[in-house]
Amino acid sequence: MTESSAYVPPKVWTWDAESGGTFAKINRPISGKTHDAELPVGKHPLQLYSQGTPNGVKVTVLLEEMLATGEERAEYDGWLLPINGAQFGSGFVDINPNSKIPALVDRSGEQSIRVFESGAIMLYLAEKFNIFLPKDPANRPEMLSWLFWQMGSAPYLGGGFGHFYAYAPEKFEYPINRFAMEVKRQLDVLDKLLAKRQFIIGDEYTIADMAIWPWYGQLVLGRQYDAGEFLDVESYTHVLRWSKELKDRPAVKRGRMVNRVAGRPETQLHERHDASDFETKTQDKLNPTA
């Protein structure tokens, strides 16, 4: 089908597993497990099952930032849950019926607690350890507003712009223009905000920053979809300033490495079970000939 051809939707939509481009064959219009697969469990109370996508990076950055403050209760096992069909295994579906990464199990109490959706995980952990929340309760609604802004906006960036610009089997002008316009509007929203503030809610670094940076920060740093020039990201100078500031934080660097399966081998830590893993178990150490 070409862009100029007229598509007439059928009366009842049916699924074509062969269409849809990259990732299409691992998606389907029904929920639930496709196979039985137990999840591994490590030594720490917090068990994270994820992959180093922007949504996964949000949570690992938060956990590494918590550990950097000396909060030992934030120690965690970071298990790679590759989004290649493994998300439909029975064990993962039990902790996230929506089959999306990341998902967390907190085994610190008498009963295990499951938490899914990256924003929910971040809020749960921040409240559990009372860290990276606004010191003044009056600023909490502002933080929550930006946290949920990110949750609501990212589908336009990832599922919309990213899909049609980078992953769709063919390039079509209308959807690319539609979602590029929305992404640029969102970048403009952030740029105007960060022209007046060091961080998202002011002079405090919170989970709102950690949620937004993996999507929009990495976009303007040229790490998303190879679309920097197309979106003219250099023009968003205040977002760039903020993005670079967060990029240089040691905990952010570590958080980006956990459950990562792309990029240079020294930046990939497929599983994380101890702080020393960053020095001894990155892919360049485990497979030096790769």
On whether the CB atoms of residues 207 and 126 are closer than 8 A, the answer is yes
Q: How far apart are CA 155 and CA 152, in angstroms?
A: 7
- Average pLDDT of the residues in 39-48: 98
Q: Is the pLDDT of residue 18 over 80?
A: no
pLDDT at 6: 81
Least Cα distance to 250 among 279, 289, 271 occurs for: 279
**Mean confidence (pLDDT) of the chain:** 94
pLDDT at 4: 55
How many residues can be counted in the chain?
290
pLDDT at 27: 79
Q: pLDDT band at residue 1, thresholds of 50, 70 and 90? A: very low
Question: DSSP for 142-203?
Answer: HHHHHHHHHHHHHHIIIIIIIIIIIISSS--HHHHHHHHHHHHHHHHHHHHHHTT-SBTTBS
Percentage, residues of the chain above pLDDT 70: 95
Q: Is the pLDDT of residue 272 over 50?
A: yes
Q: Is the pLDDT of residue 2 over 80?
A: no
Q: What is the pLDDT of residues 274-284, one digit of tens each?
A: 999 999 999 99
Q: What is the pLDDT of residues 55-75, one digit of tens each?
A: 999 999 999 999 999 999 999
Question: How would you classify residue 232: left for phi > 0, otherwise alpha for psi between -120 and 50, otherwise beta?
Answer: left
pTM, 2 dp: 0.95
pLDDT at 144: 98
Q: Is the pLDDT of residue 285 over 70?
A: yes
- Average pLDDT of the residues in 11-21: 80
Q: Is the pLDDT of residue 5 over 90?
A: no
- Tokens 């989970």 locate to 207
CATH topology of domain 137-254: Glutathione S-transferase Yfyf (Class Pi); Chain A, domain 2 (1.20.1050)
pLDDT at 22: 65
pLDDT at 26: 74
Q: What is the pLDDT of residues 168-188, one digit of tens each?
A: 988 999 999 999 999 999 999
Q: What is the pLDDT of residues 176-225, one digit of tens each?
A: 999 999 999 999 999 999 999 999 999 999 999 999 999 999 999 999 99
pLDDT at 74: 98
Tell me the three state secondary structure of residue 286. Answer: helix
The amino acid at 14: T
The domains of the chain are located at 137-254
Q: What is the pLDDT of residues 88-141, one digit of tens each?
A: 999 999 999 999 999 999 999 999 999 999 999 999 999 999 999 999 999 999
pLDDT at 186: 98
